[in-house]
């Protein structure tokens, strides 16, 4: 049994214009100690998926359906009190923008200690000592002084490290990282990724990494799931996906990555682009969600939605045109 098993996840939002189907029928699993990356362009449903896993979608705004099982427990069926005991303890999350996720009127030490007092029952003194230990662990200098700082007094990279310290304070079994390196410069990005790799080895946590940066995926993940318009369109081991992408959308994403040193070859090639626009998620889509932007689409693509099929061992794609790998004779 996998640590996390998600089946047919659906997250819909009510809007004045109708129902927005932000996530529609997504299924995946995460094994103990594994890193699964979820990739796709902005608005494809990555962050909504992560918020749904934590049950952070307010019932007044949207509805979550399907099945989310963590260590055999159905999270969607738990009372809110039991779910609160899991958030920040067994499952932690690094949010996309630390400056808006951290409370501006509380010190860094208080915010780390709050998690420890709530979930582990530590005293104020014990929580302070643990907060200093966590800041040391994530590489923040002078931690005994920094715990008295407020978020605005820290740099973007330091705030992100604080978010990681809060997320890992209770040694979670699953860490959800939503764009953990967004808006950070390249040097700080590398430091944050090195930190996450090191901490994963120390505490043995599984990671769900939400990102649009395929370079980060190549460095961090064992498996990758590609989302488009709220659906899962491809899933494969990372090396296999980069070598043999099966879905046209995945090929488009990979084709849009700048190649290091390409300007030195003397051939100035334009980056590939995916024409057209993402379909509205407020309308029911007939056929393949990518058909309107796909150069390979034919009549069957426009009328019949493709199911996820095995195209190679461990490699799945929702595409009528994707070829299967021939079995060895």
**Which pLDDT tens digit goes with each residue over 12-67?**
999 888 899 999 999 999 999 999 999 998 889 999 999 999 999 988 888 999 99
Assigned token pair, 201 = 């080895």
Nearest to 319 by CA among 240, 226, 247, 232: 247
Rg of the chain over all Cα atoms, to the nearest angstrom: 21
Give Cβ neighbours of residue 279 (< 8 Å, ≥ 6 apart).
Answer: 229, 285, 289, 292
Assigned token pair, 129 = 């000592």
**Which pLDDT tens digit goes with each residue over 272-314?**
788 888 898 988 888 999 999 998 899 999 999 999 999 999 9
Domains (range + CATH), the chain: 1-90+173-181+206-258+271-328 (3.40.50.300)
**CA triplet 34, 216, 248: central angle to 5 degrees?**
95
112 — phi, psi (to 5°)?
-70, -45
Which residue has tokens 């009127």? 105
**How far is the C-alpha of 279 from the C-alpha of 294, rounded, in Å?**
12
Packing angle of the helix pair 108-120, 156-168 (nearest 10 deg): 10
pTM: 0.90
What percent of the chain clears pLDDT 70, i.e. is strictly above it? 94
Torsion of CA 312, 249, 222, 238, to 10 degrees: 60
Measured CA to CA in angstroms, residue 186 lies from 95, 259, 322 at distances of 19, 16, 35
Instruction: Give me the pLDDT at residue 100, please.
Output: 82
**How far is the C-alpha of 315 from the C-alpha of 240, rounded, in Å?**
8
**Which pLDDT tens digit goes with each residue over 81-119?**
999 999 989 999 988 777 788 999 999 999 999 989 989
| DSSP type of residue 151 | G
Torsion of CA 275, 281, 284, 287, to 10 degrees: 30
């Amino acid at each position: 049994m996998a640590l996390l098993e998600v089946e047919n996840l659906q997250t819909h939002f009510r809007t004045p214009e109708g129902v927005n189907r932000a996530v529609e029928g997504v299924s995946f699993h995460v094994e103990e100690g594994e890193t699964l990356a979820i990739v796709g362009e902005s608005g494809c449903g990555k962050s909504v998926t992560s918020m749904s896993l934590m049950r952070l979608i307010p019932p007044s705004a949207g509805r979550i359906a399907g099945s989310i099982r963590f260590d055999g427990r159905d999270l969607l069926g738990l009372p809110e009190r039991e779910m609160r005991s899991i958030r920040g303890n067994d499952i932690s999350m690094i949010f996309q923008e630390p400056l808006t996720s951290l409370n501006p009127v509380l010190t860094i030490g208080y915010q780390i200690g709050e998690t420890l007092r709530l979930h582990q029952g530590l005293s104020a003194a014990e929580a302070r000592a643990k907060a200093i230990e966590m800041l040391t662990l994530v590489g923040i200098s002078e931690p005994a002084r920094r715990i008295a700082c407020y978020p605005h007094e820290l740099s973007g990279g330091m705030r992100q490290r604080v978010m990681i310290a809060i997320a890992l304070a209770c040694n979670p079994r699953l860490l959800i990282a939503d764009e953990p390196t967004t808006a950070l410069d390249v040097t700080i990005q590398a430091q944050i990724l090195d930190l996450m790799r090191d901490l994963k080895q120390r505490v043995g946590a599984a990671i769900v990494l939400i990102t649009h940066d395929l370079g980060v995926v190549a460095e961090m993940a064992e498996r990758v799931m590609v989302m488009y318009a709220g659906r899962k369109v491809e899933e494969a081991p990372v090396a296999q996906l980069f070598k043999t992408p099966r879905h046209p959308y995945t090929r488009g994403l990979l084709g849009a990555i700048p190649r290091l040193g390409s300007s030195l070859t003397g051939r100035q090639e334009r980056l590939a682009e995916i024409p057209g626009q993402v379909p509205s998620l407020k309308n029911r889509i007939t056929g393949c969600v990518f058909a309107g932007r796909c150069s390979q689409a034919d009549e069957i693509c426009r009328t019949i939605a493709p199911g996820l099929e095995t195209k190679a061992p461990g490699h799945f794609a929702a595409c009528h045109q994707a070829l299967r790998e021939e079995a060895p004779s």
